[in-house]
Amino acid sequence: MRVVFLGAPGVGKGTQADRITTQYLVAKISTGDLLREAVRRQTTLGLEAKSYMDDGKLVPDAVVIGLVREKLADPVCANGFVLDGFPRTVPQAEALGSVLNSKGLALDLVVNFEVSREDIVRRLSGRRSCQKCQATFHMDFAPPKVNEMCDRCEEPLVQRSDDRSDAIEMRLKVYDEQTAPLVRYYQERGLLLPLDGSGTANVVFQHLSQELAPYRAV
């Protein structure tokens, strides 16, 4: 199984990727995780990425693709993989295609999780976390017992700066600008599967599992 999960911030693709990798025993590839691990291990690509990150700059596609290429060569990907939130642009998609082609591989499916803008804003703006124990809550879906206080250590909960309404709108604007061409790119190649991500995590997982069943590893 070789699939890509697309979707705006807050659609739940990361949650579904975690579930699918457990269900089908395939690797989850998240570029954020790859970058953090490469920096931690101080690999050549990790050090290059860190130089950009320290300056507050975007890590170039060439570095990100290099990390993905290295990960795909890892034996943990032999049984398949889920790419979570990557590629984000058409050039990244083209580079990914070249990497896979060089290995005699191809994508099976690209799942585009669709959730209304209103629901995305509600999901993201309601998130809270505890800076002391890292516990996470949601003011609508998983609220703390005492308003804005952590259940575990009774510390005040905080909202991430990028989960505030103005930041969310900017994140969605950037996503729309970058991803609309990417959705068309995969649609034209017959790989795109639109999936309703507005239900509960369990409902979305049930529908997703049905769609992915034909691609499961033997």
Which residues, listed in sequence order, are joined to residue 5 by a DSSP beta bridge? 84, 111
Catalytic residue chosen out of the listed positions 2, 50, 69, 171:
171
Q: What is the pLDDT of residues 73-109, one digit of tens each?
A: 999 999 999 999 899 889 999 999 999 999 999 999 9
Q: What is the pLDDT of residues 1-23, one digit of tens each?
A: 999 999 998 899 989 999 999 99
> What is the SS3 string spanning the chain?
CEEEEECCCCCCHHHHHHHHHHHHCCEEEEHHHHHHHHHHHCCHHHHHHHHHHHCCCCCCHHHHHHHHHHHHCCHHHCCCEEEECCCCCHHHHHHHHHHHHHCCCCCCEEEEEECCHHHHHHHHHCEEEECCCCCEEECCCECCCCCCECCCCCCEEECCHHHCHHHHHHHHHHHHHHHHHHHHHHHHCCCEEEEECCCCHHHHHHHHHHHHHHHCCC
Catalytic annotation on 216? Answer: no
Of the pLDDT bands very low, low, confident and very high (cuts 50, 70, 90), residue 217 is low
Q: What is the pLDDT of residues 188-207, one digit of tens each?
A: 999 999 999 998 899 999 99
Model pLDDT, residue 218: 46
**Which architecture characterizes domain 2-26+79-115+169-215 according to CATH?**
3-Layer(aba) Sandwich (3.40)
Q: What is the pTM of this model?
A: 0.85
Catalytic annotation on 19? Answer: no
Catalytic annotation on 13? Answer: yes
Catalytic residue chosen out of the listed positions 160, 164, 184, 189:
160
Q: What is the pLDDT of residues 105-134, one digit of tens each?
A: 999 999 999 999 999 999 999 999 999 998
The residues spanned by each domain of the chain are 2-26+79-115+169-215
| Tokens linked to 55 | 């300056």
User: Up-side HSE of residue 4: CA atoms within 13 Å toward CB?
Assistant: 25
Q: Is the pLDDT of residue 216 over 80?
A: no
Using alpha carbons only, give the angle 137, 140, 144 rounded to the nearest 5 degrees.
40
| Tokens linked to 64 | 């990100």
Catalytic annotation on 117? Answer: no
More confident residue, 55 or 28: 28
Catalytic annotation on 171? Answer: yes
